[in-house]
Amino acid sequence: MMQKEVSNLKLSDLFAGCHNRQRVPVFKMLIGGKWVESENGRTLDIDSPIDDSIIGKVQAATKADAGAAVEAAYGARKAIRDIPAIDRIDMLNKARHILDAHRDDFVKTMVLEAGKPIHMAEGEVRASGNRIKMTMEEARKIFGEYIPGDWSEDTMAKFALVIHEPLGVIACISPFNYPLFSIVAKVVPALVAGNPVIVKAASDDPLVSLLLGRVLQEAGVPDGAINVITGSGKEAGEALVTHDRVAMITLTGSTEVGMRVAKLVGMKKMHLELGGKGAAIVAADADLTLAAKKVLEGSLKYSGQRCDAISRVFVEARVADRFVGLLLKEYDSWKLGDPRDEHYNMGPLINPRASERVQRLVDDATSKGARLLKGGKHRKSYFEPTVLDFVPPEAEIAIEETFGPVVTVMRVKSLQEAIELTNASRYGLDSCVFTNNFYTAWKVAKALEEGSVSVNDAPAHGVGYFPFGGNKDSGLGREGVGYSVDEMTKIKTIQFNLAPAGLGKTHQTLKM
Ligand code: NAP
């Protein structure tokens, strides 16, 4: 039965008959259950970082379009909230099956618009399905609490029920690097907790968000409870986050954008997953072969375009030559090329501007004394896997988020120096330590001012089974299977007075 329903959905319907003269598909956006154009007819080009060709056009939502999406969501609050929880779970499980049946559409779109290597795009689709499944399991734990009042004089003969309620309209703003997973991780807990949502995906790769909107619509999410708009962060994004009827903003993106949004929105609930500057601390007693392999993987996977990437490596000086030698030995397993070809495990950065930015960081480091051991050049969006050694702490690449495929090695005299340099950063998302001594691992993990610390592994948020999130300028709140559902509800306390019915206990002062 499910298979039949699933096979009836053609995601290509999204742009059928909607080509412009150059036969470039033009995608509409989803507002209030209808696929619509922007009110002024403007569109944005979507370029593929693979070869800079235009692969599609999306609507450039205006302030009025964003307002229409918020009104549609506001009007759908009752529709989503009134669906019994078990039916909401069925609906989202159906979405998971539809997503799975259209895995190839999602993978191909992600490879084309984000330049993601095939195996990574497949991994993201799989992780998204798993995240939906685990969220449904966790959603069953939204219970609340019964609190008897006779533990306090002023609540004698009373009790309270503490219940979780939906927040209302939630604006979900996502980054380019996980165009499917980061939206699933926001939209699914929001819907299962009874909130209508508006998605605004990154303008570099928004096509996947439109496909997901179609899947959720097909799965039976009520009209208006899922809206997907496209358009610039500056216009459509700001119109969304500042709208009076939006109750919560969940945004994953850069620290700069997160801070701007935080300043704009005033008293709204916010969940911010922002930038990071992950450190790997390699102790002299570490398994250096393991550390080198994990450091390369943590720095180069998806060309370093991950908030949980390792973007600086502090290695104790007495083992540094051996460690760097092992890094260079493993380096050749990283192959840069067309992400449509499975032979390559690294593809382009998201656009040529991103490559130019990383080039500036690498050139700045070498001009300040860093030694370039491998790579270091780009062609259009393709940046070579790069290894820098002896990077001085004043180099920009030692301070700012890299978001490119660079292993940044810094030699330190002691673990204490590594801890201090790590904590000197304004970021506090993820870091890791490599050591074979339990007490060293514990000491470093406790001392780091990070949201998460991994021991003998590169940081990875994965499906979110373990919670994650940032301290300092890396964000607010925690994401994770159950944590995200919690973030998307509010607590109401309902107090019952039993005294009028002669029920409940009365206070007696004990006479000694
Ligand atoms: P970005 O430039 O900050 O954009 C993120 C989203 O915000 C996009 O949808 C963007 O729309 C929108 N936006 C931009 N300006 C806005 C504004 N004034 N008001 C409202 N929305 C606005 O980030 P990105 O380059 O796509 O993604 C990379 C960043 O995300 C990195 O810093 C990375 O560390 C971070 N990230 C963090 C996590 C985490 O878990 N902590 C996970 C993934 C990524 P446009 O695209 O239209 O500008």
Q: Does 166 sit in the ligand 1 pocket, CB within 6 Å?
A: no
Q: Which helix (H) or strand (E) holds 56?
A: strand 54-59
Nearest CA, atom 16, ligand 1? 233
Side by side, the strands of the sheet bearing 43-47 are 26-27, 54-59, 43-47
209 within ligand 1 shell (Cβ under 6 A):
no
Q: What is the pLDDT of residue 368?
A: 98
Cβ(305) to ligand 1 under 6 A?
no
pLDDT of residue 245: 98
Does the CB atom of residue 307 touch ligand 1 within 6 A?
yes
Q: What is the pLDDT of residue 22?
A: 63
Give me the half-sphere count of Cα atoms (radius 13 Å) on the Cβ side of residue 450. Answer: 30
Residue of minimum CA distance from atom 14 in ligand 1:
233
**Predicted pLDDT of residue 17:** 44
Judge if the beta carbon of residue 109 lies within 6 A of ligand 1: no
Count of CB atoms within 10 A of residue 123's CB? Answer: 16
Ligand 1 atom nearest to CA at 253: 30
How far is the centre of ligand 1, averaged over its atoms, from the C-alpha of 233 (Å)?
Answer: 8
Residue among 70, 254, 255, 430 to mutate when testing ligand 1 (max atoms within 8 A of CB): 254
Check residue 141 and give its pLDDT: 85
The string of pLDDT tens digits covering residues 410-459 is 999 999 999 999 999 999 999 999 999 999 999 999 999 999 999 999 99
Residue 14 is predicted with a pLDDT of 62
The pLDDT value recorded for residue 153 is: 94
List, for residues 106-154, the tens digit of each pLDDT value. 999 999 999 999 999 999 999 999 999 999 998 888 889 999 999 999 9
**Measuring from atom 24 of ligand 1, which residue has the nearest CA?**
175
Active site members: 273, 307
Burial class (CB in 10 A: 0-12, 13-18, 19+), 494: exposed
Q: Where are the beta strands (DSSP E) in 179-230?
A: 197-200, 226-229
261 Cβ closer than 6 Å to some ligand 1 atom: yes
User: Which residues of the chain fall short of a pLDDT of 50?
Assistant: 1-7, 16-19
